[in-house]
Structure 1
Amino acid sequence: MASKKMNVESFNLDHTKVKAPYVRVADRKEGINGDIIVKYDVRFSQPNKEHMDTMAIHSLEHLTAEHIRNHADYIVDFGPMGCQTGFYLTVINHDNYDEILTVLERTMEDVLEADEVPASNEKQCGWAAHHTLEGAKEVAQRFLSKRDEWHIVFAEEA
């Protein structure tokens, strides 16, 4: 059965063939002024087999959004996937995959050392009660434990 090509790159990805955790280039675009925008699929959990807890996702998003910018000035966004299996990392004018892996590694190490979730209060967050530092740390630790495999996207490559 041939499927129609979708507009969203990740909808064209065969999620039954990937092996999480991994980091892959999901999209690359050039703007009209020559800016290069790269979107990475940063997959923490195996699609359709496991997912992250929403409180852990929320806290990991806050922690990563804050700490990743200490390691790179080209970060545009780090946002969660609706399927709760990962995040999209968007960068501008930077296209070095190995450096992205290092930035993610250092950021996850920052998460493990954190003693609070940044901006997890009613003034700075739209759902301040919906956080778990320990949950975010557990997700980060599992991701880091497979650091040597982040470049392997498909099970057949393993």
Structure 2
Amino acid sequence: MAEVESFTLDHTAVNAPYVRLIGVEQGPRGDEISNFDVRFVQPNEGEIPTAGLHTIEHLLASLLRDRVDGVIDISPFGCRTGFHLIMWGRPEVPALVDAITDSLRFIAEKAEWSDVPGVSAVECGNYRDHSLHSAREWSARILEQGISRDAFTRVLG
């Protein structure tokens, strides 16, 4: 079986919340795609409830595209501690931390239900499983801790 980087990461050594470059892949025409570990919750110590995570996912999908160029996808980890952020090129971690922080601030302080995209049965595969209340609470909790630019040592600001 192929080796998957996230299964070789020592999840007991990281210090969430953080943004970490997992790797850069190059396509046959030279295009580069970067994969980032956007970890909001300390692994094996907690998890974001599914409905809140789902709402954060929908909001980040739109908010990050408004704040930074090159977003291909942001998808939650099955463990519910964060997201994979897939982007064109080689974006810098500090710029991503700023964009994510700004997006979470919007979710925690300003987001209304009408701001959450894709929440009807036509637009979402599990439209009943959303919680703006939970998304706000978790976004505020993550912001209180600050998002580190390093996965192993807290580097804020």
TM superposition score normalised by structure 2: 0.89
Determine which of 90, 95, 100 is the counterpart of 1:94.
90
Determine which of 52, 64, 67 is the counterpart of 1:68.
64
What's the counterpart of residue 136 of structure 1? 135
- C-alpha deviation, 1:6, in angstroms: 5.9
Determine which of 142, 148, 157 is the counterpart of 1:150.
148
- C-alpha deviation, 1:141, in angstroms: 1.2
8 A contact 1:37–1:92 mirrored in 2? yes
Pairing 1:11–2:4 present: no
Determine which of 66, 71, 83 is the counterpart of 2:79.
83
- C-alpha deviation, 1:136, in angstroms: 0.7
Flag the 1:6–1:144 CA change in 2: closer, same or farther, 3 A. farther
RMSD, aligned α-carbons:
1.6
Q: Secondary structure at 2:73's aligned position in 1?
A: strand
1:17-56 CA distance string (max 9 Å, x none): 1111111011211212121111110111111111110011
- C-alpha deviation, 1:110, in angstroms: 2.3
- C-alpha deviation, 1:140, in angstroms: 1.1
- C-alpha deviation, 1:71, in angstroms: 0.8
Unpaired segments ≥5 residues, structure 2: none
8 A contact 2:94–2:149 mirrored in 1? no
8 A contact 1:6–1:12 mirrored in 2? no
Q: Which of structure 1's runs of 4+ aligned residues deviate more than 3 A?
A: none
Q: After superposition, where does 1:24-39 map in structure 2 within 5 Å?
A: 24-39=20-35
TM superposition score normalised by structure 1: 0.89
Q: Which one-letter code corresponds to 1:131 in the other structure?
A: H
